[in-house]
Structure 1
Amino acid sequence: MASEEGQGKTYHYFKRAILALYSDLKKQSAVIDELFAKAFAEALKQGKLNSAVFKLYRENFGKETKNSTLIKVHKRLGVLSDSGGFIEWANNGNDGSATCFVLRDKYVLTCHHVVGHIVGEGVEEKGWASIISHSARVTFSYEDKYPKENSWFSLAPWFEISDKHLDFAVLKLEGDRSLFPAGLVQFSYPLPFNGLIYIIGHPDGQAKSADGCTVVPVFKRKRECHCHIQRGQKGVCNNVKCGPEDRQCIHMFTQRSFQHVINNPNVVTYDTSFFFGSSGSPVFNADGQLVAMHTAGYKYKKNKQLHSIVEFGFSMVAILAAIKKNYKAWYEFELPSLWEDAGSCPGEHEDFTSAYTNDIEMETLE
């Protein structure tokens, strides 16, 4: 505590030798002393307590974006997370992992490009089923330590429902059905225009975790992408400085790089910390409804660290509409009549624009 004669003055705790190196600090301290002296004198004149001087410089700040979550949502997400699965594979030196989730009964949903990584390059899709069965397996209990052998489910030699444009694939589990987690398809819901979403998956092949992030609204997508580029380009990245090892640097992106995502009504865009291994993760809205499947993002390297411009997931409404249109018999037999009253699945007649460009790097291990 300062003595009475010392109140209203600033105090310095720097060593004098260090302080002498920075002459501007002395000037700034003189300015602060003057400001406090005026405020202190004014407070005395008005008969206020000395603490009023410091209250003048105290500010209560409010967050611009609300990201608090109701406890009931946490509880709901905790239950829904049981259906999120960890899929790993080992195929003749081709090892990797990703995320999936139970769609209904014995069927799980993941990304088409994930299955492509499982089977490897140069294999026609008609031969994928057998490779999937021999190379990959799924567990739903990877929440802390790596699961024991009896916690895994095999995959059947079955690959019949998929779509490259919407980047989804349905796989079939083998084993005791009573041990399979509940399906999430009945919780499907249209994409949110804004607000919070939650991604539950296995980023970097680690234990199951959840990431809460903010939706980038459609009308802000272009601006957000370009802002990320501008921040990444400040004196750091250019064609001259960046060598072959930095081929993913941000200068590879152009004004046209993001058109297929920016203008695509079948995706939700957001900013998440989930990168490799999280493809195939379920995406929930703030009410715990399944709105999308986390798919990919535009990544780049800056200062040898990985960054991302924007991430996106394909709408569950669009995915289910595509299944109903192209695999109607399977849809009607295996999935419930989700929109029976409406007569058709929302989005059934939408144009499923591909979100692939040469600039996209899918977020799975290679």
Structure 2
Amino acid sequence: MATVEAEKEFTFAFGGSKGEKHAARGSSQQSLISALRDSSSVFAEEEKKNEGRTVQLVEREQLRGALNVGMPCRGLPEKAHLEVSFAASGGSQGRQDSAGGQECVTFTVGPAPGERPILKEPEVGVDLCVFALGEETVGEALGKDGRFLPEVCGEGWQLVERKSRQAFPLSLVAKQLPAGPFELGPEGAGAGDQAPLPGTKPGLYQLAQELDQYLKGQLGGGGPWEGAQKEFEELTGGPAPNRLPSHVAKLPMGMNEAVGTLRWNRPGNEGSASCFLLARGHVLTCHHAIKMMVGEGVPESHWGAVVSEAASISFTFRTSGETQWKVATGGLKASSPELDYVILALEVPEGRGSELRPGLASFATKPIPQGVVYTVGRQFTEALMLAPLSPEDGDDLAGRQSFQAFSGCTFSRQPRPERVPYDTEFLHDPAVSGSPVISHYGGLVGLHTGSYQYQERMVEFGTTIQAIAFHIHLSNRPLYQLLFSNNPQKKNCTIM
């Protein structure tokens, strides 16, 4: 018996969102323009009245852009509502190769301010929503869209995410893009001081701005810091909390046992940092720790040999006591100075693989906007209170790459002599940096990377696990699959 293909239902109105709504539907492979013509006599009549003019479709609530009329219906979100208008003749009639069952993804693009034109026809007043099929790159999707000038779809051009100012090459597979929206412009134009792949170590100005916004809302009798301290003590159970809530303390023992210490001892250079097992014998730690290990002036292409020779990693497993591990030759698998992380593969001698714990990747989850989290070390657990995000972030954490938080030391004003600078802005504490940050509900949400001084207070900060996973996804897809997509506790990784 032949299967009946599911249909996508949507509504549309003429002349703006307040017009009378009409219903339409089409098969998943059918183009929008075909579905409108076949399923709605109202549309067919209106199009006949505007013969010779170009149909324009805009979806403002979810896709937030002018759609390509050739987009397959399966690219529409649920309960989509389209605004239909008719423009002067000469415009694109839409991409024609939308047939087939390939995955359809969309991304929204507008021109970079002050840059060269990107469209064949005058701008429609909204961004353009582009669709890509299967493994098409961003450049391929733009080139097939029909509305963009040919010269902006290839080399020398890039997408820049409007909020984070991250730059993405047009050679990137379109389905690997974050949510957007994006600006299309020449390479190097409009991007912040980020690497081409997502990620940026937070700058002091950005972090301080967020703290300023948060502290303005504190009404403590002695000032905003006193109000923040009172909130901290109420949420964490005291000025210097040294205990965990019972439900957090009952988390799987493997979460504690996955935390380790990275040590190195080279002539004139001895040090340590925290780290933890992520998955399958791979360890996550801080980029700045590896940089301190290898020393200044060593190209990153040579780091792997130094690390495999100088580094040792130890875990305290209840079943086998202190265990020592070396980093495998060629074991530096991924890194980012902007996100301050490194992935190291351990050298696992034959017969010792069963000693390693599964790791924490199976607990990885998306960032949380505020509340209490816990930095888990080998011999300590510290409660941190997240400083709420800036108002413009709201609850949309899709592009969030960093977090900042208060600890008991924030309010005690007691110096910590073990903190050492690792660049001009941030401080490194070997006892904490490189340790996992666990949410109140037991999810792995971050990597603690350092702290910075703000008005004589020490504020902790770190990188979200989601940002690290996304960076690996773009730069080393097989490694991402190995670490985040093949965990027995998660059939499908939801970190992104």
| 2:400/2:467 contact within 8 Å kept | no
Matched, 1:266 2:415: no
CA drift of 1:127 comes to: 1.1
Comparing both structures, which one devotes a greater share of its residues to helix?
1
Task: Map 1:337-348 to 2 at 5 A.
Answer: 346=496
Selected match of 1:313 from 429, 437, 462: 462
| 1:88/1:136 contact within 8 Å kept | yes
Q: Secondary structure at the match of 1:192?
A: coil
For residues 119 and 185 of structure 1, do their structure 2 counterparts lie closer, same or farther at Cα, with a shift above 3 Å needed? same
Partner residue, 2:373: 197
CA drift of 1:334 comes to: 4.5
| 2:386/2:405 contact within 8 Å kept | yes
Mapped partners of 2:235, 2:454: distance in 1: 29
Segments of structure 2 that go 5 or more residues without pairing to the other structure are: 1-229, 238-243, 392-398, 410-415, 420-428
Segments of structure 1 that go 5 or more residues without pairing to the other structure are: 1-60, 202-206, 221-263, 347-366
- Residue-by-residue CA offset, 1:284-338 (whole Å, 9 max, x unaligned): 0001110000012113897xxxx51x11110101110110111012222454257
**One-letter identity of the residue aligned with 1:185:** A
| 2:254/2:357 contact within 8 Å kept | no
Partner residue, 2:383: 212
Selected match of 1:327 from 449, 469, 476: 476
Mapped partners of 1:77, 1:194: distance in 2: 24
Matched, 1:156 2:331: no
- Residue-by-residue CA offset, 1:123-181 (whole Å, 9 max, x unaligned): 111111111011110111199xxx98x62111112213111111111001123211112
CA drift of 1:217 comes to: 0.6
| 1:77/1:288 contact within 8 Å kept | no
| 1:105/1:177 contact within 8 Å kept | no
| 1:196/1:212 contact within 8 Å kept | yes
Segment of structure 1 superposing worse, 75-84 or 154-163: 75-84
Matched, 1:168 2:341: yes
Partner residue, 2:257: 82
Instruction: Report the aligned-residue RMSD.
Output: 3.2
Mapped partners of 1:63, 1:216: distance in 2: 10
Task: Map 1:30-109 to 2 at 5 A.
Answer: 65-68=234-237, 69-76=244-251, 78-109=253-284
| 2:364/2:495 contact within 8 Å kept | no
Q: Secondary structure at the match of 2:272?
A: strand
Mapped partners of 2:253, 2:437: distance in 1: 13
Q: Secondary structure at the match of 2:339?
A: coil
Q: Secondary structure at the match of 2:381?
A: strand
**One-letter identity of the residue aligned with 1:172:** A
Q: Secondary structure at the match of 1:121?
A: coil
State the identity %: 28
Partner residue, 1:17: none
**One-letter identity of the residue aligned with 1:318:** A
Q: Secondary structure at the match of 1:329?
A: helix
TM-score under structure 1 normalisation? Answer: 0.56
| 2:257/2:317 contact within 8 Å kept | no
**One-letter identity of the residue aligned with 2:347:** E
| 1:86/1:142 contact within 8 Å kept | no
Structure 1 segments of 4+ aligned residues over 4 angstroms from their partners? 61-64, 337-342
Partner residue, 1:29: none
Partner residue, 2:288: 113
Mapped partners of 2:368, 2:306: distance in 1: 37
Aligned length: 229
Q: Secondary structure at the match of 2:276?
A: strand
Selected match of 2:434 from 280, 299, 324: 280
| 2:485/2:492 contact within 8 Å kept | no
- Residue-by-residue CA offset, 1:218-258 (whole Å, 9 max, x unaligned): 138xxxxxxxxxxxxxxxxxxxxxxxxxxxxxxxxxxxxxx
CA drift of 1:67 comes to: 2.2
For residues 301 and 66 of structure 1, do their structure 2 counterparts lie closer, same or farther at Cα, with a shift above 3 Å needed? closer
For residues 136 and 217 of structure 1, do their structure 2 counterparts lie closer, same or farther at Cα, with a shift above 3 Å needed? same
CA drift of 1:63 comes to: 9.0
| 2:365/2:495 contact within 8 Å kept | no
For residues 64 and 283 of structure 1, do their structure 2 counterparts lie closer, same or farther at Cα, with a shift above 3 Å needed? closer
Selected match of 2:453 from 274, 292, 299: 299
| 1:295/1:313 contact within 8 Å kept | yes
Mapped partners of 2:332, 2:231: distance in 1: 51
Mapped partners of 1:288, 1:218: distance in 2: 21
**One-letter identity of the residue aligned with 2:286:** C
Comparing both structures, which one devotes a greater share of its residues to strand?
2
Q: Which has the higher contact order (CA 8 A, sep 6+)?
A: 1
Q: Secondary structure at the match of 1:199?
A: strand
**One-letter identity of the residue aligned with 2:448:** H
**One-letter identity of the residue aligned with 1:196:** V
TM-score under structure 2 normalisation? Answer: 0.42
CA drift of 1:340 comes to: 7.0
